[in-house]
Amino acid sequence: AQKVTQAQTEISVVEKEDVTLDCVYETRDTTYYLFWYKQPPSGELVFLIRRNSFDEQNEISGRYSWNFQKSTSSFNFTITASQVVDSAVYFCALSELIQGAQKLVFGQGTRLTINP
């Protein structure tokens, strides 16, 4: 069965610090996608990134970067120079294909608090 583990339940750092959110996944599929979503206090999940299983290149988008390591089944997310607005719950998710439809399996989420 597919599984996503975000071992860090809560992280609290001071503004401008770098912070890494861990994500480890389990799957038997050779083709899959990994996602990160941000859930601010308003509730909606905001899509951040999608990565397919054949692309292990790291990605950087502004202060955000992602490190995909297939050998360790990890897809970690780093925020550089964190800001108060980064405070949210962050979810890592793994997709599986069931009956022709993609099903997202989410981790438990990591609550990130950035203190001024």
Partner 1 sequence: ETGVTQTPRHLVMGMTNKKSLKCEQHLGHNAMYWYKQSAKKPLELMFVYNFKEQTENNSVPSRFSPECPNSSHLFLHLHTLQPEDSALYLCASSHSPLWNEQFFGPGTRLTVL
DSSP3 helix / strand / coil % (the chain, rounded to 5): 5, 55, 40
Taking the CA atoms of residue 35, residue 61, residue 44 and residue 87 in that order, the dihedral angle to the nearest 10 degrees is 110
Nearer to partner 1, 11 or 105 (CB): 105
CB of 17 vs partner 1, minimal distance in Å: 27
- Among residues 102 and 115, whose Cβ is nearest to partner 1? 102
Q: Which residue has tokens 């951040």?
A: 48
User: Residue 94 CB, nearest distance to partner 1 (Å)?
Assistant: 11
Q: How far is the CB of 56 from partner 1 (least distance, A)?
A: 17
Residues that bind partner 1 (CB under 8 A): 4, 33, 35, 37, 42-47, 50, 52, 91, 95, 97-109
